[in-house]
Structure 1
Amino acid sequence: MCTSLPPAAYRDPLTVDATEPSGSRQKAFPPAPEPLPMPVMDNHTHLDFPDGQAPVGVKAALDAAAAVGVQGAVQVGCDLESSRFTVQAVDLDERLLGAVALHPNDAPRYAARGELEQALAEIERLASHPRIRAIGETGLDFFRTEGEGLAHQRYSFRRHIDIAKRLDLTLQIHDRDAHDDVVQVLREEGAPGRVVFHCFSGDEELARICNKEGWWMSFAGTLTFRNAANLRAALAIADPALMLVETDAPFLTPHPHRGRPNASYMVPYTVRAMAELTGTDLAALCSGISENTIRAYGSWD
């Protein structure tokens, strides 16, 4: 759910205390959940994106996450500014790995300025950093982009797939209202060896495809929303070896705190929902998710 923010929205990653509420109660961070019995990682977060009056800093956000059993995170870029931030952040804290890309809604904007090729070239340069482990988030978004912008989306997606394959990096997919087309492009281009459907938004049909192809399904706080029957049905048939968890922070805060700022320390709400819905022992689920995350991105060490 990454969206573009003006440069002023990007902050020094060590100057903001993520645990300190500010503004109204609606914009204050929710209380910390009960810690998980085994550690997991948040495989998709945006530490450079403030949520209203509640910005999140890298060190404080990761400290808060560690206190509840979330021992690391993947910081994800959406455009050049946030991808540059990602490279800076992974150098500042060893609990972070990174992903860099142009979001599908941003690709048409770069194209309109005649800057798409230059931007893609910089993404590839940034991706050479040893702690950048993924190209993402990239994909297709038919909710916010239409018309000729879709051609730029498709072109950018195909270029990101190529970069991920040549650099042997994981591909993080943004898929909004575009399941069939995303799968089609992946099959036409030949998917990289590791593919993650970030903030999995599909149904049983897409889950079956992911099971068959060996593509990871990353569940976010949306799984806990009352209107998310399709996600719960998908989770029910998802291969446990292909399950990941994320926040997409500061977006998609899980129930019962939907609408308030999100951060990596909120992962336990989603993990507990996954355990309850699948009838899985919580500690066993945590261990499985952690193993899956390392297979997807490599070691944090």
Structure 2
Amino acid sequence: MIDFHCHLDLYPDPKRVIDECVRRGIHVLSVTTTPSAWRGTAKLTQTCPRIQTALGLHPQIVQERKIELQLFESLIDNVRYIGEIGLDGGPESKKHHPDQLRVFRKILDMCGKAGGRVMSLHSRRAANDVLLELKKFPDAGTPVLHWFSGSKAELKMASDFGCWFSVGPGMLRSAKGKELIKSMPRSRLLTESDGPFVEIRGAAVFPWAVEETVSFLGEVWKCPVSEVNEQLANNLRIIGKLANSGDAPNPSP
């Protein structure tokens, strides 16, 4: 199983979730929302080779945490994965768009100067803006659009640009989400939970909730779950090679 976008540090009992991920053999990209959370989160899983910790600065809180950009820059050489970063076009975030844009551009520039990184990207109601910025920073690395919710036209633009996508149970709760998944390139697709932010029947999902998405992909691709898992595992190997092709050394929290 693969959970390519999960906020492990934000569960009430992260250690219990991590131990269960290890027991089940789940590959996890543990994203962070602030640079100051990276070291502590990375230490939680430093003995878990299947769990990688990404360095992030979430667009919904940049107005409060933009001061941490300097810390972000000091840590980027320690990581291969960046996330969660991006832009948010929701009504509550629009007034902070200038801060979001400045921070996003600075991070993309840092990634490029560091040799490129695999980036887990937030693009809620801002898919077109995110794509425009990615095109301005072609050396930033490999973009993985998490929980993509843009239009079909924006999805095609992202696919043509070479973006990857991570999809999860949150997207399966709407007809639009399902339709978008059906149009995503299977060779650039990974599963995610986005736990604990995603809730089903009032309870936060855990990384192993990606099984539901795997089953859905089997229906969409008209193939057995075993073939879906084989495709996803191959995709993970490719993204891992892309991450390791950058200039980042072995992570050291």
Cα displacement (A) at 1:191: 5.6
Output aligned runs, 1:105-254, within 5 Å.
105-111=60-66, 115=67, 119-129=68-78, 132-143=79-90, 144-147=92-95, 149-167=96-114, 168-190=116-138, 192-225=140-173, 228-253=174-199
The unaligned stretches of length 5 or more in structure 2 are 245-249
SS state at 1:221 partner = coil
TM-score (norm. length: structure 1): 0.73
SS state at 1:137 partner = strand
| Alignment RMSD | 2.2
The residue aligned with 2:247 is none
Q: Any conservation in 2 of the 1:86–1:99 contact (CA below 8 Å)? A: no
Work out the CA distance in 2 between the residues paired with 1:188 and 1:276: 37
SS state at 1:142 partner = coil
Work out the CA distance in 1 between the residues paired with 2:160 and 2:2: 24
Work out the CA distance in 2 between the residues paired with 1:89 and 1:65: 12
SS state at 1:101 partner = coil
Does the C-alpha gap of structure 1 residues 258 and 215 become closer, same or farther in structure 2, counting only changes over 3 Å? farther
Bigger Rg, which one:
1
Work out the CA distance in 2 between the residues paired with 1:189 and 1:203: 23
The residue aligned with 2:203 is 260
Q: Any conservation in 1 of the 2:121–2:143 contact (CA below 8 Å)? A: yes
Work out the CA distance in 2 between the residues paired with 1:294 and 1:165: 22
Q: Would you say 1:96 and 2:42 are equivalent positions?
A: no
Does the C-alpha gap of structure 1 residues 203 and 66 become closer, same or farther in structure 2, counting only changes over 3 Å? farther
The unaligned stretches of length 5 or more in structure 1 are 1-39
Work out the CA distance in 2 between the residues paired with 1:271 and 1:206: 24
Q: Which moved more, 1:286-295 or 1:80-89?
A: 80-89
Cα displacement (A) at 1:66: 4.9
- The correspondence for 2:13, drawn from 56, 66, 80, is 56
Work out the CA distance in 1 between the residues paired with 2:84 and 2:99: 15
CA distances 1:168-193 after superposition (whole Å, capped 9, x unpaired): 21121111111111111111233633
Q: Any conservation in 1 of the 2:5–2:29 contact (CA below 8 Å)? A: yes
TM-score (norm. length: structure 2): 0.86
The one-letter code matched in structure 2 to 1:199 is W
CA distances 1:14-50 after superposition (whole Å, capped 9, x unpaired): xxxxxxxxxxxxxxxxxxxxxxxxxx32111111113
- The correspondence for 2:223, drawn from 271, 280, 293, is 280
Work out the CA distance in 2 between the residues paired with 1:157 and 1:234: 25
SS state at 1:105 partner = helix
SS state at 1:250 partner = coil
Runs of 4+ in 1 over 6 A off after TM superposition: none
The one-letter code matched in structure 2 to 1:275 is G
